[in-house]
Structures are given as structure tokens and as C-alpha cells.
Amino acid sequence: MANELNELKDYVNEEGRDINVIEKQIPVKVGWGSTLFEVLLWVFGIIPGLIFLFKKIQAKKFFDQLQQKIQHNASQIDNYLEQRVQVLQNVVGLVERSIDLDKDVMKTVAAFRGGIHPTEENRSQVASQLESAIGSINVAFERYPDLKAHATIADAMRKNDYLQREITAAREVYNDTVLRWNQEIFVWPTKKIVAAKNGYTTRIPFSVSKAVKEQARQKFF
């Protein structure tokens, strides 16, 4: 059987994901063997069939609860991202007339003025854009130490650092839940049959940006 993930291919897209592994959503499929298994349970008697039916109901309930947990974990990340966008907009509003900011920073700020709408597919991209924009502002601040020391700006940047730490922690929780989902949907027979019937696929984890990956690969000495 061919490897569906192709993890040996090392191409990384702009959001920092190894697209052949992390971005690929694998659908759950079952073959004729699973159908035969269910039929045989009913052939052997109504009790085995009813027991398996009960197990399928329990499996669906389990997946519903796990989806709710994933949504809750994702909403925490999105909340921190929203706050970080606000910090970015406030800082840019304070300094845009005093220093020259990168055009990409201004484009990012303009794009986020209507609010952000993270989804499972673009959450990492939004985080990457924020990371890049704030990184550019920090570089610009190095040329204006007096401006960087301004109380309002300093407070905003401290809040940004706090939010980044919270996003990192929330990412770990979210990805742990996503990992559990991705494992449970392939547990045969009950969960895999239920997952296939409901069209479930693996979920995309929230990954770090390309810039962070590149920094992590650099030599320390």
C-alpha cells in the first residue's frame, strides 16, 4: 500500500507546514470486510447486533464530544490571535507617522481591519502573518530606541509577548486533542465504521510559522 503522507518529501509552504504530511486530510474508509462483520453480528443473533449498535451510538457520542473540545480549544487560540491583532493595530497607529514601516506590515494591518476569521485551514497562516508583521515592527524599533521605550508602546509589546506565550500553550492543547481525534477515527471496528459513515477525516494541527522553523534549524554555535 502506498504511503498516503509522503513524509519524506521536505517541501514546506509559506505557513511552515510540511504540506505532504500536516496539511493532508485523510478520509476514513472501510471496505467490504467491515460490512460483512456487521452483517455476521446480526446473523449470529439479535443480541450481538444490538450490542454493536449500542457501541456505535456511544462512538458517535464520543466523537461529538471530542469535536466540541476541539472547537473550544480552537476558540481559545482564535481569541488570543484577535487580541494580538488589536495590539498590532494599536502599535502601528501610534508609530506609523514616526517611523518607516515595511509595506507588508501595513498590508497586514489593513487586511485585519475587518477582523480575522480563523478556520482550521488558515489558522496557522493568520498566526504566521502576525508573527511576520510584529517581527518587522521590532526590527524597525531597533533604529528608534527612544520610541521603543515609550510607556504605551512598551506595554503593548509586553502584552504581545504574553499573548504569544499563551498561543504557544493553547497550540499544544489543541494539537493534543487533534492528535487524539486523528488516532481514534481509525480504531476498528466501531469507531472506524462510525467515522467512515459520517465522512470524518483527519484534522490539521496548528503549526509554527516557516520563520520559526528556520530559526530552530540554525546552528547555535
Contact indicator for 124, 175 with CB cutoff of 8 Å? no
Residue 13 pLDDT exceeds 70: no
Q: Which domains does the chain have, with CATH numbers?
A: 32-205 (1.20.1440.20)
Q: In sequence order, what are the beta bridge partners of 201?
A: 27
Residue 108 pLDDT exceeds 60: yes
Predicted confidence at residue 59, as pLDDT, reads 97
pLDDT digits (tens, 9 = 90+) for 63-88: 999 999 999 999 999 999 889 888 88
Residue 5 pLDDT exceeds 50: no
Predicted confidence at residue 116, as pLDDT, reads 67
Residue 215 pLDDT exceeds 70: no
Mean pLDDT of the chain: 79
pLDDT digits (tens, 9 = 90+) for 35-71: 999 999 989 889 999 999 999 999 999 999 999 999 9
Predicted confidence at residue 212, as pLDDT, reads 47
Residue 96 pLDDT exceeds 60: yes
pLDDT confidence of 115, banded at 50, 70, 90?
low
Contact indicator for 199, 120 with CB cutoff of 8 Å? no
Cell of 46: 439479535
pLDDT digits (tens, 9 = 90+) for 116-163: 677 777 777 888 888 878 877 777 777 777 766 677 778 888 898 899
pLDDT confidence of 114, banded at 50, 70, 90?
low
**What's the residue count for the chain?**
221
pLDDT confidence of 188, banded at 50, 70, 90?
very high
Q: For the residues 9-14, what does the mean pLDDT come to?
A: 48
CB atoms within 10 A of CB 179: 13
Q: How big is the CA angle at 54 (ends 51 and 55), to the nearest 5 degrees?
A: 90
Helix, strand, coil in percent for the chain, rounding step 5: 65, 0, 35
